[in-house]
């Protein structure tokens, strides 16, 4: 896993909880590198899973909720760290359509050893289906990321996770306009 | 604007109390741990970046080396291409339409007389380098054909439909534009001289919308090819001129030949008439001589008569030679082969010459090889003519010593006869002249005489016989020889008593002969000859009288019919006799005429004459012809 994912996770824990909690999570996770992460390195994704697990124990929050929240936050971080990725895009749908074809290709050029997840986007009328697949069980992080992009572009869309999704390694998200709310 | 993406979370209070540092020492410890991690991360990042820098540097070095290699290769290939263009007299140009930039290969600059590397910004600079008379043509070509393409909105595809920017090959894009122009300065071999011919070909390079983006131009030096074409054209022109000259010459030759043929015909007609006109009186002279009864003459008269007779014979021989020559030139010299006693021709036939030789105190020896055949199938008259001519010359040009005639059979079966003399000899370089008509060598010590026809006629006779004739050196003079193909035949049946030459003793009554002859002299001669041959004779003066005599029923055995006669000529009289009823129509008729050429005899033979006898009359010839016509075996001839 690219260092940026796990290094940003430590940063997120410090901000969403506290530096002491982040320190405790690192200690409790018994990580081989003792929580020393740099964005230019590569680390086992099990470190991230271990930290999410330790955080869940400490906070009594489900791992899925924590991962989704981290993904949502990470989308905004990508905009800060890699602003060139978002240049020319004005809506989330177009950006998501190009994730696998354009953005992951750029990642692969920079990091030939990177194993990016596969993202397949299907547009059917006004509905967008984003299918995620990865050897890493981080479908919840992906869900948060999709939400984060929609939030960034300010589109009036909702993301619904297909309940038939097979598990943490794969998921399908429906992106659509929210149903009008009844007044009564 | 979206809200903050960070959701803050709280942890259970007991746990938070256990984790969050309260004391300053605990807070410091936490900070130190975080700091230590940050420091470690920075060090790790630096290490990783250094590693990546090294990798990048190595990659950079590799890429630089590859770029250098590619640059070198490109440079080498470019140099090779330019060398190839220089050797081939070939250059390229590229005109970037959008940027209005012209790029020339060095060879193009050399070909149009510019320094390689000179700055050429527009095509007008190139046009100005051409010969003045080619500039307007070049500009018309460029504007009318090449640049006009740029103004068109669309091009045309192969199917003739507008292309409208569709991808794929385009006819307009594939089209080649071509022109040949000339510029001064160099003929492709010697720089600075003559005119250089260039072939310019252009093709558009189009963009994805099929719009012209570039014009690619090749320039080929075709000076040598043009010069070769010009030389070939000049050669063709010269050859055609030569052919025309030859045709004109041929026409002139044809006209000349036609004129020569006409002249030759005229000469032949003249000869025929002349020979006839000479023969007729000569016949009278010689014939009259034969009528002399020598027993009644004195010795002086006999000698005088012999001289007159000899002169007459010489005149007759000369006349015959001239006629033979005329026949030979007309290609009408024909042979009359028959059983011939070769030994007799070579021995008895040379008695006359032996007599002449002895008068000059010369020897004449006849040497026949053992294998010499006695009887052969040959024209005895022509064979005798050959030997007579050679012997005549040999004796004429030999003043002492002698003449020898040698005959033998060659391995190929041909007969070779040599006449060897001890005379003045013939220089090798003048031998060919011997066989030219009317030509005498006038050699030192020779005694010119005769008409110079003998050997020329011999050569013509030999040609007709299919043989060879020539002259070689002899030990003390010359050796004239001829070789002819002969066919050996068995001994024919001969009649006895070859000395008898008369119809008187042939068994029955004397033949009764009707003679039609208009000239009184000839009538006397013929009548005398016939009486010598033991015939009864009646003489008339023209054809009409002859016809009347036959019709009268008088029993003639034979008619001797002259050809040219007043009132009715010989052919007409003959035709009428042949038209008579009964046995009269079968009366043997022998033409008696001074006309001897076959075509001259033709009217007489066509009218139905059985045979002919030439004037001046040789009594032997008359006897043989009559014998054939009467179907009586000739006493000294061959049985028929």
| Residues B341-399 pLDDT 10s | 888 888 877 777 888 888 889 998 988 888 888 889 888 888 888 888 888 888 888 88
Question: By C-alpha distance, which of B406, B381, B404, B343 is closest to B464?
Answer: B381
Strand partners of residue B512? B536
Phi, psi of B179 (to 5 degrees): -155, 150
Question: Are B6 and A16 a contacting pair at CB < 8 A?
Answer: yes
Residue A43: CB atoms within 10 Å: 19
Which of B3, B20, B48 is closest, CB to CB, to A38?
B48
**The residue to which tokens 């570039």 are assigned:** B214
Instruction: Output the pLDDT for position B66.
Output: 92
Question: Are B9 and A59 a contacting pair at CB < 8 A?
Answer: yes
* pLDDT confidence band for A103 (50 / 70 / 90): low
Domain-wise residue ranges, chain A: 3-61, 68-176
For chain A, what percent of residues have pLDDT higher than 90?
42
Which of A12, A20, A59 is closest, CB to CB, to B30?
A20
What is the DSSP code string of B229-296?
A: HHHHHHHHHHHHHHHHHHHHHHHHHHHHHHHHHHHHHHHHHHHHHHHHHHHHHHHHHHHHHHH--GGG
The ipTM (two decimal places) reads 0.84
Higher-scoring residue by pLDDT: A80, B635: A80
Which of A23, A148, A154 is closest, CB to CB, to B30?
A23
* pLDDT confidence band for B498 (50 / 70 / 90): very low
**Three-state secondary structure readout of B351-380:** HHHHHHHHHCCCEEEEEECCCCCCEEEECH
Question: Are A40 and B45 a contacting pair at CB < 8 A?
Answer: yes
Distances (CA, A) of A172 to A142, A146, B467, B520, B635: 10, 11, 123, 156, 150
* Residue B424 zone, left/alpha/beta (φ > 0; ψ -120 to 50; rest): alpha
For B194-228, give one letter per residue: b (16+ CB within 10 A) or e. bbbbbbbebebebeeebbbebbebbbbbbbeebbe
Higher-scoring residue by pLDDT: B498, A85: A85
How close A151 comes to chain B (CA, Å)? 6
Instruction: Output the pLDDT for position B164.
Output: 59
Measured CA to CA, the distance from residue B444 to residue B389 in angstroms comes to 21
Is residue B376 within 8 Å of B488, Cβ to Cβ?
Answer: yes
Residues in chain B: 640
Instruction: Output the pLDDT for position B154.
Output: 57
Instruction: Output the pLDDT for position A168.
Output: 75
All residues at 6 or more sequence positions from A95 whose CB lies less than 8 Å from its CB, including other chains: A86, A89, A149, A153
Our separate counts of H helices and E strands in chain A read: 7, 4
Measured CA to CA, the distance from residue B423 to residue B428 in angstroms comes to 15
Residue B52: CB atoms within 10 Å: 11
How close A17 comes to chain B (CA, Å)? 6
Mean pLDDT, all residues of chain B: 82
Instruction: Output the pLDDT for position B499.
Output: 43
Closest residue in A to B34 (Cα) is A23
Measured CA to CA, the distance from residue A9 to residue B258 in angstroms comes to 127
The token duo for A124 is 């059917």
Instruction: Output the pLDDT for position B345.
Output: 84
How close A108 comes to chain B (CA, Å)? 16
- For residue B158, pLDDT beyond 50: no
Instruction: Output the pLDDT for position A41.
Output: 86
Instruction: Output the pLDDT for position A151.
Output: 92
Residues of B in Cβ contact (< 8 Å) with A151: 2-3, 5
Instruction: Output the pLDDT for position B622.
Output: 85
Which of B6, B20, B40 is closest, CB to CB, to A73?
B6
Instruction: Output the pLDDT for position A56.
Output: 95
Distances (CA, A) of A38 to A66, A85, B39, B66, B423: 22, 21, 10, 34, 141
How close A89 comes to chain B (CA, Å)? 17
Which of A15, A34, A154 is closest, CB to CB, to B2?
A154
Question: Are B19 and A152 a contacting pair at CB < 8 A?
Answer: no
Which of A23, A66, A75 is closest, CB to CB, to B33?
A23
Measured CA to CA, the distance from residue A153 to residue A92 in angstroms comes to 6
**Upstream peptide bond of B231 is cis (omega within 30 degrees of 0):** no
The token duo for B129 is 């380098």
Each residue of B578-604: pLDDT tens digit? 999 888 888 999 998 777 667 778 888
Question: Are B5 and A72 a contacting pair at CB < 8 A?
Answer: yes
The token duo for B78 is 């470019």
Sign of CA dihedral A125, A126, A132, A137: negative
The token duo for A116 is 């990016």
Q: Is B559 helix (H, G, I), strand (E, B) or coil?
A: strand
Select the residue from B3, B5, B56 to test the A interface by mutation, using most A Cβ atoms within 10 A.
Answer: B5
Question: By C-alpha distance, which of B349, B426, B328 is closest to B391?
Answer: B349
All residues at 6 or more sequence positions from B564 whose CB lies less than 8 Å from its CB, including other chains: B276, B518, B570, B593, B595
Each residue of B273-307: pLDDT tens digit? 777 777 777 777 777 777 776 678 888 888 788 77
Each residue of B523-540: pLDDT tens digit? 888 888 888 888 889 999
- For residue B1, pLDDT beyond 50: no
Question: Using alpha carbons only, how large is chain B's radius of gyration in Å?
Answer: 59
Instruction: Output the pLDDT for position B165.
Output: 54
Each residue of B408-443: pLDDT tens digit? 999 998 999 999 999 887 777 777 777 776 665 555
Each residue of B524-580: pLDDT tens digit? 888 888 888 888 899 999 999 999 999 998 889 999 999 888 899 999 999 999 999
Q: Is A132 helix (H, G, I), strand (E, B) or coil?
A: strand
- For residue A76, pLDDT beyond 90: yes
- For residue B190, pLDDT beyond 50: no
Is residue A177 within 8 Å of A107, Cβ to Cβ?
Answer: no
Tell me the average pLDDT across A57-61: 94
According to DSSP, the β-strands at A158-161 and A170-176 are antiparallel
Residues of B in Cβ contact (< 8 Å) with A72: 5, 7
* pLDDT confidence band for B253 (50 / 70 / 90): very high
Measured CA to CA, the distance from residue B561 to residue B605 in angstroms comes to 11
Instruction: Output the pLDDT for position B40.
Output: 94
Instruction: Output the pLDDT for position B561.
Output: 93
Measured CA to CA, the distance from residue B202 to residue B167 in angstroms comes to 22
Closest residue in A to B38 (Cα) is A36
Closest residue in A to B12 (Cα) is A59
All residues at 6 or more sequence positions from B357 whose CB lies less than 8 Å from its CB, including other chains: B363, B364, B395, B402, B403
Tell me the average pLDDT across A149-168: 83
Select the residue from B17, B37, B40, B50 to test the A interface by mutation, using most A Cβ atoms within 10 A.
Answer: B37
Higher-scoring residue by pLDDT: B63, B347: B63
Tell me the average pLDDT across B150-167: 58
Tell me the average pLDDT across A17-32: 93
- For residue A129, pLDDT beyond 50: yes
The token duo for B608 is 């139905």
Question: By C-alpha distance, which of B60, B42, B40, B64 is closest to B52?
Answer: B60
- For residue B189, pLDDT beyond 70: no
Which of B19, B41, B49 is closest, CB to CB, to A24?
B19
How close A104 comes to chain B (CA, Å)? 21
Which of A16, A36, A151 is closest, CB to CB, to B8?
A16
Question: Are B2 and A35 a contacting pair at CB < 8 A?
Answer: no
Residue B609: CB atoms within 10 Å: 26
- For residue B401, pLDDT beyond 70: yes
For B279-301, give one letter per residue: b (16+ CB within 10 A) or e. bbebbbbbbbbbeeeeeeeeeee
CA angle B125, B129, B134 (to 5 degrees): 110
Q: Is A113 helix (H, G, I), strand (E, B) or coil?
A: coil
Closest residue in B to A147 (Cα) is B5
Question: Are A151 and B42 a contacting pair at CB < 8 A?
Answer: no
All residues at 6 or more sequence positions from B328 whose CB lies less than 8 Å from its CB, including other chains: B457, B460, B461, B463, B464
- For residue A104, pLDDT beyond 70: no
Sign of CA dihedral B559, B563, B568, B572: positive
- For residue A54, pLDDT beyond 60: yes
Select the residue from A12, A18, A31, A32 to test the B interface by mutation, using most B Cβ atoms within 10 A.
Answer: A18
> Would you say the pTM of this structure is higher than 0.95?
no
How many CB pairs below 8 A link A and B? 76
- B interface with A, Cβ–Cβ < 8 A, is 1-3, 5-12, 15-16, 19-21, 30, 33-34, 37, 40-42, 44-45, 48-49, 52
Tell me the average pLDDT across A81-103: 82
Tell me the average pLDDT across B493-521: 69
Residue B183: CB atoms within 10 Å: 20
Select the residue from A28, A34, A58 to test the B interface by mutation, using most B Cβ atoms within 10 A.
Answer: A58
Strands of the A118-124 sheet, one edge to the other: A118-124, A127-133, A170-176, A158-161
- Widest distance between CA atoms in chain A: 56
Question: Are A73 and B49 a contacting pair at CB < 8 A?
Answer: no
Each residue of B613-635: pLDDT tens digit? 887 777 778 888 888 888 765 44
Q: Is A100 helix (H, G, I), strand (E, B) or coil?
A: helix
Closest residue in A to B11 (Cα) is A59
Please provide the CATH number assigned to the domain covering A68-176.
3.90.1520.10
Measured CA to CA, the distance from residue B373 to residue B69 in angstroms comes to 104
Residues of B in Cβ contact (< 8 Å) with A38: 41-42, 44-45, 48
Which of A24, A59, A76 is closest, CB to CB, to B5?
A76
* pLDDT confidence band for B271 (50 / 70 / 90): confident
Instruction: Output the pLDDT for position B46.
Output: 92
Is residue A148 within 8 Å of A71, Cβ to Cβ?
Answer: yes
All residues at 6 or more sequence positions from B26 whose CB lies less than 8 Å from its CB, including other chains: none
């Amino acid at each position: 896993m690219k260092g940026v994912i796990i290094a940003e996770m430590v940063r997120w824990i410090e901000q969403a909880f506290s530096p002491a909690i982040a320190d405790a999570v690192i200690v409790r996770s018994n990580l081989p590198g003792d929580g020393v992460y740099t964005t230019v390195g590569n680390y086992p994704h099990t470190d991230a899973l271990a930290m999410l697990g330790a955080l869940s124990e400490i906070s009594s929050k489900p791992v899925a909720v924590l991962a989704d929240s981290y993904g949502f936050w990470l989308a905004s971080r990508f905009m800060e760290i890699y602003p060139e990725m978002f240049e020319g895009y004005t809506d989330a749908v177009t950006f998501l359509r190009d994730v696998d074809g354009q953005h992951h290709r750029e990642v692969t050029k920079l990091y030939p050893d990177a194993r990016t997840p596969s993202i397949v986007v299907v547009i059917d009328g006004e509905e967008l289906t984003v299918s995620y697949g990865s050897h890493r069980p981080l479908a919840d992080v992906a869900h948060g990321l999709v939400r984060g992009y929609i939030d960034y572009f300010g589109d009036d869309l909702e993301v619904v996770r297909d309940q038939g999704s097979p598990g943490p390694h794969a998921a399908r998200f429906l992106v659509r306009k929210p149903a009008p709310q009844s007044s009564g | 604007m979206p809200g903050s993406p960070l959701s803050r979370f709280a942890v259970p209070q007991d746990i938070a109390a256990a984790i969050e540092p309260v004391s300053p020492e605990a807070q410091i410890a936490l900070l130190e741990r975080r700091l230590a991690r940050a420091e470690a991360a920075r060090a790790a990042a630096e290490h990783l970046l250094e590693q990546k820098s090294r990798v990048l540097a190595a990659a950079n070095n590799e890429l630089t080396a590859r770029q250098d290699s590619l640059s070198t290769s490109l440079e080498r290939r470019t140099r090779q291409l330019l060398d190839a263009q220089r050797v081939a007299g070939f250059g390229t140009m590229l005109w970037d339409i959008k940027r209005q930039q012209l790029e020339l290969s060095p060879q193009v600059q050399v070909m149009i007389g510019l320094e390689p590397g000179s700055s050429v910004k527009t095509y007008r600079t190139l046009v100005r380098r051409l010969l003045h008379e080619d500039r307007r043509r070049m500009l018309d070509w460029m504007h009318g054909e090449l640049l006009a393409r740029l103004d068109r909105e669309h091009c045309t595809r192969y199917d003739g439909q507008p292309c409208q920017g569709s991808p794929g090959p385009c006819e307009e894009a594939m089209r080649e534009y071509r022109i040949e122009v000339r510029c001064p300065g160099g003929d492709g071999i010697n720089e600075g001289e003559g005119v250089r011919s260039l072939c310019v070909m252009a093709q558009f390079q189009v963009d994805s919308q099929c719009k012209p983006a570039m014009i690619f131009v090749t320039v080929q030096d075709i000076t040598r090819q043009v010069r070769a074409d010009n030389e070939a054209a000049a050669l063709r022109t010269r050859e055609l001129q030569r052919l025309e000259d030859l045709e004109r010459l041929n026409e002139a030759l044809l006209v000349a030949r036609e004129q020569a043929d006409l002249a030759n015909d005229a000469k032949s007609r003249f000869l025929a008439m002349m020979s006839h006109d000479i023969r007729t009186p000569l016949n009278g002279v010689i014939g009259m001589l034969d009528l002399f009864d020598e027993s009644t003459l004195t010795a002086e008269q006999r000698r005088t008569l012999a001289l007159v007779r000899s002169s007459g014979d010489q005149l007759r021989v000369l006349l015959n030679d001239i006629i033979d020559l005329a026949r030979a030139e007309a290609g009408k010299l024909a042979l009359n082969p028959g059983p011939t006693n070769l030994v007799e021709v070579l021995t008895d036939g040379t008695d006359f010459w032996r007599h002449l030789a002895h008068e000059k105190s010369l020897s004449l020896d006849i040497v026949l090889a053992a294998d010499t055949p006695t009887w052969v199938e040959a024209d005895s008259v022509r064979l005798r003519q050959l030997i007579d001519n050679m012997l005549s010359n040999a004796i004429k040009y030999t003043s002492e010593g002698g003449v020898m005639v040698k005959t033998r059979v060659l391995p190929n079966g041909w007969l070779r006869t040599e006449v060897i003399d001890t005379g003045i000899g013939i220089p090798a370089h003048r031998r060919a002249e011997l066989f030219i008509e009317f030509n005498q060598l006038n050699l030192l010590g020779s005694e010119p005489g005769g008409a110079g026809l003998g050997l020329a006629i011999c050569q013509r006779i030999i040609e007709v016989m299919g043989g060879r004739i020539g002259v070689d050196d002899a030990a003390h003079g010359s050796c004239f020889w001829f070789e002819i193909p002969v066919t050996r035949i068995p001994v024919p049946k001969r009649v006895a008593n070859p000395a008898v030459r008369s119809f008187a003793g042939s068994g029955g009554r004397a033949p009764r002969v009707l003679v039609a002859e208009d000239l009184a002299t000839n009538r006397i001669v013929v009548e005398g000859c016939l009486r010598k041959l033991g015939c009864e004779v009646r003489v008339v003066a023209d054809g009409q009288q002859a016809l009347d005599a036959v019709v009268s029923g008088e029993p003639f055995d034979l008619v001797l019919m002259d050809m040219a006669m007043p009132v009715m000529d010989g052919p007409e009289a003959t035709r009428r006799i042949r038209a008579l009823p009964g046995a009269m129509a079968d009366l043997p008729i022998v033409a008696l005429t001074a006309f001897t050429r076959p075509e001259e005899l033709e009217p007489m033979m066509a009218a139905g004459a059985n045979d002919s006898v030439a004037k001046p009359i040789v009594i032997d010839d008359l006897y043989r012809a009559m014998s054939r016509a009467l179907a009586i075996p000739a006493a000294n001839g061959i049985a028929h």
